[in-house]
Amino acid sequence: MTDLTKLTLSEARDGLQKKTFTATELTKAHLSAIDAGNAALNAYVLVTGEHALAQAKASDANIASGKARPLEGLPLGNKDLFCTKGIRTTACSKILGDFKPAYESTVGANLWHAGAVMLGKLNNDEFAMGSSNETSAFGTVVNPWRRKGKDGKLAADKLVPGGSSGGSSAAVSGSLCLAATATDTGGSIRQPAALTGTVGIKPTYGRCSRWGIVAFASSLDQAGPITKTVRDAAIMLRHMAGHDAKDTTSVDAPVPDYEAALGKGVKGLRVGVPKEYRVVGMSPEIEKLWEQGIAWLKAAGATIHEISLPHTKYALPAYYIVAPAEASSNLARYDGVRYGLRVPGKDLVETYENTRAAGFGKEVRKRILIGTYVLSAGYYDAYYLKAQKVRTLIKRDFDTAWDKVDVVLTPTTPSPAFALGEKTGDPLAMYLEDIFTVTVNMAGLPGMSVPAGLSSQGTPLGLQLIGKPFDEATLLRAGQAIEDAAGRFTVADAWWAKRPAKAAKT
Amino acid sequence: MQVDAATVRRIARLARIKVTDEEAKGLEKELSGILDWVRQLDEVDTSGVEPMVRVVAQQMKQRADVVNDGEIADAVVANAPLTEDHFFVVPKVVE
C-alpha cells in the first residue's frame, strides 16, 4: 500500500469515499509517522492516539452506513492554543501547567462535527509570541527542511519552522498530519507556512470564532489552517469558519464553498503590487521570486497594477504597541488562583508575582511589561492611542487600493528559514520576520501564503496574497494559480523518520 | 534610554511579575530599545484621525438577558491549584 501520510487532505478524502482505505488505517499511518518522527521534529506536545483511533472508528462506521460528513475520518493536528475538552491545553506555557479545559474551542468543535480526527496538540511559541517557535516551554520545533551546503549536500544545522504556528507547519510539511489548525496575530500562520513549503491562510478578522482559543491580542488574533495544498486550505477553512454567538466579533456572514471557487481561474483579476514593499535590503532572491509570481499571474490572465500603501513601514512598530498592550491585559488572568501553576508567596500579591515570574517565559514577560508600560497612566495617548490611529491610516491605504485592484501580491517573508538560535539574541531582527505579514492583521484583512520556489540553499520561499474583507475565495483562486505554476514543494528525504540503527530487529 | 531601573520596577509591580535585580538591568536596555524604535510613529501625522476600534463595521451584538449557563461549579474549580467546597483558596488578604 502507498504511504497514506503522503496524501493531501483532498486525496485522502477521496480515498476514504472510494473505500480504498479506512479512516482507522489512515489514522494509524499518521500515528506511526508521529511515533517515528516526533522525537526529531518536536512538532507535537501531546499525542492523543486513543482519542484519534476512537474518532476514526466512529468515522469508519459513518462511512460504512453512508453517513459520512465532509471531513469524515481525516486526521488533523491541533495547535495547543485551541482549548480541547478534557485534553491538556497549555499554549506551550508553564503557567497553564496541566490545564484541562471544560470546553472545546468553537473552531475545533466545527472540525470534529464535520468528522475530522484529532491526532494531538501541536507545539507553538509560548502564547503565540514568536516567529521561530523557540519560545515554547516544550522546546524548539525543527523544520523538516534542511539547507544545502556549498558542496550540494544537506547541511546538518537545524532550521526553525517559523512561528508561532511552528508545530503546525512542521507537522504538515513532515507528513505528521494531513492538515493543521493554526492562529495568526502578526504572521503566525503565513510566516511558518512560507518557511516550510506549506499553504497557510489567515482569514478576515471575524471569519473564524476566537472562542476557546487562548487569547494573545484580541483585536488581531484569527484562526486558520496550514495545509499541503491550496485546495486543502479551501476545504479546511470552510469547516473552521462560521458565525458564533459566543464571540461578539465573529461575523454573521455566509461561508462560501471555497473549494468550488478554485476552478474559476484568475482571468481579468486585478493584482496590485505595492511599491512600498520593495524595502531597502530586500534580498535579490526574494525580489526574483516576487517577479516570478507577477509573471505567473499575468500568464494566467490577471492584470498587474502598481499600488501605493504609504503607511506600510509603520505597521510593525504600531503592532509592537497594540499587541503587547492587549496581551498584558489578556494575560492578567494567569494569577495562580483559578488554574495552572501557583508559586506561593507571603501574601496574595507576592503569590501573583512569584507565579507569573516562574510561569511566563522571557519573551512573554518582556511583552507583558511593554504592554503594561504603554497602557500605564500618562503614556496611553502617546503609545496605544497613537498606534490605533496609525492603524486607521493603514486600513485606509488598503481601502483606497481596493478601488484599483482585487488582490495584492507580496513576498511572505524577507528571508528563508534560518538556523536555530540565529536570531534569538536580537529581538528586532526577529520582529522583522513579520514585516510583510503584520499589516494584514493591523487592517483585519485576509492573507495567504503559497509556496512559490526554493532559495539558493534549497529551502522554501512563499508569496503572500492579501484580499478584500471576507473575500477569501478570491485569495484561494489566485493562490491556486500560483500553485499550478510553481508546483508543490515537498522534502525529498524524510530524515526525521529514521530510527537509530539499534532499533533494527535481528 | 527612557526606561530606568525604577521604571522597570514600577511596571513589573503593576504587571505583578517579580523581577530580580539582574533581570531588571537587562530589561532596562531591552525595553528602551523597543520603546525607542516604536517612537518612529511620531513621524506620522494623525491629527483628525480616529483610532481604529473595530476591523469591520458592524453593530455591537447583544444577547438576550437570560441565564444561559451555570450549575457547573465542579468544572469551574476543576483546574484550580487549591480549592475548598467550590471556593478558590488564596493567602489571607484581610487581617
In chain B, what are the domains? Answer: 5-43 (1.10.20.60)
B7 touches chain A (CB under 8 A): yes
Q: What DSSP designation does B87 have? A: E
Side chain identity at A428, as an amino acid letter?
L
d(CA A169, CA A349): 39
Locate A476 and state its grid cell.
484561494
Cβ neighbours, 10 Å, residue A150: 7
pLDDT value for A504: 42
The SS3 assignment for A289 reads helix
Q: What DSSP designation does A490 have? A: -
Cα B79 to chain centroid distance, Å, stands at 21
The minimum CA-CA distance between B84 and chain A, rounded to whole Å, is 12
Within A360-459, strands assigned E span 407-411, 447-454
The minimum CA-CA distance between B60 and chain A, rounded to whole Å, is 7
d(CA A146, CA A261): 35
Tell me the mean pLDDT per 10 residues along chain A, length 506: 91 97 98 97 98 98 97 98 98 97 98 98 98 97 95 91 98 98 98 98 97 97 98 98 94 95 95 90 90 98 98 96 98 96 96 98 97 95 96 97 98 95 87 93 97 97 97 98 98 84 44
d(CA A169, CA A131): 12
Locate A116 and state its grid cell.
475530522
Could you tell me whether strands A447-454 and A303-307 are parallel, antiparallel, or unpaired per DSSP bridges? unpaired
Locate A481 and state its grid cell.
494559480
Q: Which of A10, A188, A415, A455 is catalytic?
A: A188
Within A275-356, strands assigned E span 303-307
Q: Given an 8 Å threshold on Cβ–Cβ distance, is A356 in contact with B17?
A: yes
Chosen from B3, B8, B18, B86 to mutate, greatest number of chain A CBs within 10 A: B18
Locate A384 and state its grid cell.
496605544
Catalytic annotation present for A468? no
Q: How far apart are the first and last CA of chain A?
A: 25
Contact criterion met (CB below 8 Å) for A405 and A270: yes
Closest residue in chain A to residue B31, using alpha carbons only: A370
d(CA A173, CA A179): 9
d(CA A389, CA A198): 34
d(CA A19, CA A136): 40
d(CA A502, CA A308): 60
pLDDT value for A279: 75
d(CA A46, CA A82): 13
The minimum CA-CA distance between B18 and chain A, rounded to whole Å, is 5
Locate A282 and state its grid cell.
530586500
Contact criterion met (CB below 8 Å) for A5 and A30: yes
Locate A441 and state its grid cell.
492583521
Closest residue in chain A to residue B81, using alpha carbons only: A339
Q: For residue B59, what pLDDT band results from cuts at 50, 70 and 90?
A: confident
Count Cα atoms within 13 angstroms, Cβ side, for A469.
16
The secondary structure of A166-233 as a DSSP string is HHHHHHHHTTSSSEEEEEESSSTTHHHHHHHT-EEEE--TTSS--TTB--S-TTT-EEEEEESSHHHH
Catalytic annotation present for A150? no
Q: What DSSP designation does A87 have? A: B
Helix (H), strand (E) counts: chain A = 16, 11
Q: Does residue B25 surpass a pLDDT of 70?
A: yes
Cα–Cα distances (Å) from A304 to A88, A261, A310, A411, B63, in that order, read 48, 21, 19, 15, 46
Which domains can be identified in chain A, with CATH numbers?
4-276+290-308+402-497 (3.90.1300.10), 315-383 (no CATH)
Contact criterion met (CB below 8 Å) for A479 and A190: no
Q: Measured between CB atoms, which of A311, A338, A345 is closest to B88? A: A338
> pLDDT (tens digit, 9 = 90+) per residue, A285-302?
999 999 999 999 999 999
